[in-house]
Amino acid sequence: MNFGIVGAGIVGTAIAIRLKEAGYNLVGVRTRSKSSYERFCRYLQWDERPIEEWILEADLVFITTQDAMIPVAAKELMDKGLYREGQYWIHCSGSTSSRTMAADPQVKINYLSLHPLQAFAGIAEAVELIPGTHFGIEGDGIELGREIVTKLGGIPHLLNPKQKPLYHGGAVVASNYLVTLAALAVRLFEEAGIEREEALESLLPLMKGSLQNLEKVGLPQALTGPIARGDVNVIQEHLEHMPEELSFVYRALGKYTLEIGQAKMAQQNSAYSSEILKKMQDVFSEDEVKTPNENKGKEG
């Protein structure tokens, strides 16, 4: 199939490279930035052609701009008549519906979204990571989407388009918030006297070990630590020493983790005692936890 790229960023360039390797025929690329076009050409030798010359040849048009620019780029193409009925317009956004490209509902174009569930730091890294990457698919032509993802070496998953924001939210939690959790852990280590750089260096093996446990035994069995053991005294001690602005996050995470702990115990035909469960529920639902210094101040 013939394909073209509108927006030659990291994802668009990497997909173009992998599609060509898979036997798809690149007919054109359109980018507003000279530097991004020159970067594209460093990976794929390409003689520049105006979009008016190649757009009608394309069976697949990948609109791989920034998310906010996807509907803008699609409308511009339609307004200028730069489309062919029956084409597939494809974007790679995880949060935006494939229908965001439908500037004119009367135009008979198929709209498809193929989102790589991966964090790409650069083009070379993206090209390497695309094989084996999971893709969220929604829109028209699901079977074509599965075929493209499979040819890229990826693993396709069909999304409910009405709940796509939750899919993207889950990806944010797993990727972006992992960094946030690392920052929170580093902050607590700093409070305990460990320098920031040393803190992260010492925490990374622990985090990697947890990821390996998730790969090996999955959820909920990968959960370890005081909540898994029902050690409420350790949890209370954490909160008594913790800066107040961090305790809210700790308790919110703990409340959800307690559900995982209950599921793990159920799989092991066990359960928290009613007393321990009540204590943990209480400690995670407290509105305010005072630090030792604040308590001392009140006692004085």
**49: confidence class by pLDDT, cuts 50, 70, 90:** confident
Does 300 reside within a domain?
Answer: no
Which of 36-40, 155-159, 212-216 has the weakest average pLDDT?
36-40
**286: confidence class by pLDDT, cuts 50, 70, 90:** low
7: left (phi over 0), alpha (psi -120 to 50) or beta: left
Same domain, yes or no, for 47 and 80?
A: yes
Does 43 reside within a domain?
Answer: yes
Same domain, yes or no, for 172 and 149?
A: no
Task: Give percent of the chain above pLDDT 90.
Answer: 84
Is residue 149 predicted with pLDDT exceeding 60? yes
Pick from 107, 124, 159: which residue ends a domain? 159
Pairing mode of beta strands 88-91, 134-139:
unpaired
Does 120 reside within a domain?
Answer: yes
Is residue 219 predicted with pLDDT exceeding 90? yes
Cα–Cα nearest to 131, from 151, 159, 110: 151
What is this structure's pTM? Answer: 0.83
Q: What tokens does 240 get?
A: 């008594």
Same domain, yes or no, for 85 and 234?
A: no
pLDDT tens digits for 64-98?
999 999 999 999 999 999 999 999 999 999 999 99
Q: How far is CA 23 from CA 73, 134, 152, in A?
A: 27, 21, 10
**289: confidence class by pLDDT, cuts 50, 70, 90:** very low
What is the total count of domains within the chain?
Answer: 2
Same domain, yes or no, for 242 and 188?
A: yes
Same domain, yes or no, for 137 and 218?
A: no
Pairing mode of beta strands 2-6, 60-63:
parallel
Same domain, yes or no, for 11 and 126?
A: yes
Same domain, yes or no, for 126 and 181?
A: no
Query: For residue 185, what pLDDT is reported?
Result: 97
Pick from 107, 133, 159: which residue ends a domain? 159
Mean pLDDT of 259-267: 96
Q: Could you list the residue range(s) of the whole structural domain that residue 57 is in?
A: 2-159
Task: Give percent of the chain above pLDDT 70.
Answer: 95
Same domain, yes or no, for 144 and 14?
A: yes
Does 299 reside within a domain?
Answer: no
